Amino acid sequence: MQPREFAFAQTPSGVSVRPAASGYYVYAKPQCTGACWNVKSLIDRDGERIANRVDTTGGYFVPWPSSWAEGETRDAGTVYSSVYDGFFWYWNSNKGARLGTVTRPYETAPLRINSTTKDDAARTMTVAGQATKHASIRLAGGGELTRADGNGLWAATIGGLSLGSNTRTIQQYVGDQFVDEQRATVTIVDPVKTDQIVGETGTAELTRGGTSDVSVTYTAKSAFTTPNGRLTVQAPAGTTLAPGQDQQRGEYRDGDTWRRFGGNSIVGGERSTDGTRYEYQLGSRNWDVAAGQQFRFTFRVETPADVATTSGAMTGTLAGGFTNATFDTTARTTTTVVGRPFAAAVHFPEDVAQRATLSGTGQAGSTVSIGGAWFVPQPVTVASDGTWSAAIPAPDASGAKTLTVTQTTAGQPTGSVEVPVDYGNGVRISSPADGFQITPIWDTVRVSGTAEPGARVSLGEGGDADRYGTVTADADGRWAITTTPLTIEEHRLVATALSKGANTTTDRVLVVAAS
């Protein structure tokens, strides 16, 4: 027979749930009316009883089941009141209080800082590390920086840093609970600035056959005292850098005036084998160059008289650095060769009575000397327009000669060429031969031969050069003259040719009387 109920279990009050690392705590105060004794709680979850007649007033611990993953939210179950009456019958309430949902927290991991980097220019630090999964990573005294990801990894950038040492405290919160903190320190410095020296452009003239000063110029964007690095200077095409330029003070610009540095600014110069390049180290001295100030180096450039390239550029590549700055720049000075190239040639006038002319071009004011000549030549001065000329006395001999023509500028040889001078063929009598006989009946002689084409050939004797006539040698150099009747005796006939360049040559033939 069913006993009579003397105790009545009621719905629990003060129900709550608090998650913890290993499980969750259920808080509830079981309720009863009537003859109540030994009042306890029952806890059901997912249709199963997980706690029977337990004390929940101070919190009852329920372990996380293995199927309940970290970060997962589930229903925590329902709590009921359970009592004994005075006759030791259990009476349970069928009016439970739902516990609601609860999230299993992630296992707490210590906050770690694995790396700290900085950006001097932006004045920031970037901190990265590990923490509890999905924990809030905060800046002490500030707000949340970031949250750790599902693997507990996190990274955050902190700005607003100042020059010098900067320490920031990074804190870990799980939920709203502070867990721990770590400090990160970086030292912010002025960042290295690039391109703090700029190569300028300029122009210069090169004296043909001479030595010219050519500069490479730079502008400092930042003030500096003692730079380190190298300067490489390349000569313009077709020229060389004069030897002996192993070091140099250089100059700095003071207003409109260029002043020399107090010591050698480039040292240890090494000249290339072909003389087209010099490499220097920057001198370890106090340059004391201000921001925006220009400085330059000047080099002696040697230009051959026969240089073929009349336009080019000298470059100076300056590379290195100074405190918090670097530079890698090239100054470029465009060059133009001035003065006409040294040259010489012979010109024969059409009039064979006119001397040949030796003429050419050169550096204005230079002296032109003629060597290897059959005459005593006089030096010639190159005119202001770069031209010169000299008449050449004829050698009065056939064939080619060679003259050596030299230009001298400011006492230094600046060019030399060899000029062939070909006067061509001298006159020759080919008929008759020596000993040709004349008779009272055959008292005229036809004399023929060769000479330089266009030559004026005369035939005479006894100092009368053209007694028997004058002809012009044809294009093949052939000529012929017939004498007037000769006395029957020995005659020495002389052929005289005046050929190009007023060159005179002679030949003779002996005519005799028949015995």
What's the confidence (pLDDT) of residue 2? 45
Integer angstrom CA distances of residue 498 from 15, 354, 421, 469: 144, 10, 16, 14
Residue type (1 letter), 182 = Q
**CATH homologous superfamily for the domain 428-513:** Immunoglobulins (2.60.40.10)
Q: What digits encode the pLDDT tens for the residues 9-48?
A: 899 999 999 999 899 999 999 998 877 778 899 999 999 9
Instruction: For residues 363 and 381, give the distance between their C-alpha atoms in angstroms, rounded to a whole number.
Output: 9
Q: Which fold has domain 197-338?
A: Immunoglobulin-like (2.60.40)
Q: Are 108 and 132 in contact (CB under 8 A)?
A: yes
Residue 93 has what pLDDT? 64
Domain 7-103 CATH (choose: 3.40.50, 2.70.98, 1.10.3210, 2.60.40) = 2.60.40
Which is nearest to 239 in space by CA: 270, 268, 277?
Answer: 277
> Is 343-422 in the same CATH topology as 7-103?
yes
What confidence score (pLDDT) does residue 272 get? Answer: 98
State both tokens at 260: 């020399």
Residue 1 has what pLDDT? 41
The superfamily CATH assigns to domain 343-422 is Immunoglobulins (2.60.40.10)
pLDDT the model gives residue 192: 86
For 334-378, how does the pLDDT look when each residue is reduced to its tens digit (9 = 90+)? 999 988 888 999 999 999 999 999 999 988 899 999 988 888 889
CATH for 112-188, among 2.60.40, 1.10.357, 1.10.3470, 3.30.70? 2.60.40
Question: What does the pLDDT read at residue 5?
Answer: 55
Distance CA(332)–CA(203), nearest Å, equals: 8
pLDDT at 375: 87
Domain range list for the chain: 7-103, 112-188, 197-338, 343-422, 428-513
In DSSP terms, 335 is beta-bridged to 204, 312
> Under 8 Å CB-to-CB from 408, ≥6 apart: which residues?
366, 367, 368, 369, 414
Angle (nearest 5°) at CA 12 between 9 and 18: 150
- Reference 239, options 297, 313, 298; nearest CA is 313
**CA 83/CA 38 separation, integer angstroms:** 6
399 CB-near residues (< 8 Å, 6+ apart): 422, 423, 424, 426
Cα distance between residue 202 and residue 208, in whole Å:
19
Helices and strands (H and E) in the chain: how many? 0, 44
Low-confidence ranges of the chain (pLDDT < 50): 1-2
Comparing CA positions, the residue from 101, 102, 104 lying closest to residue 133 is 104
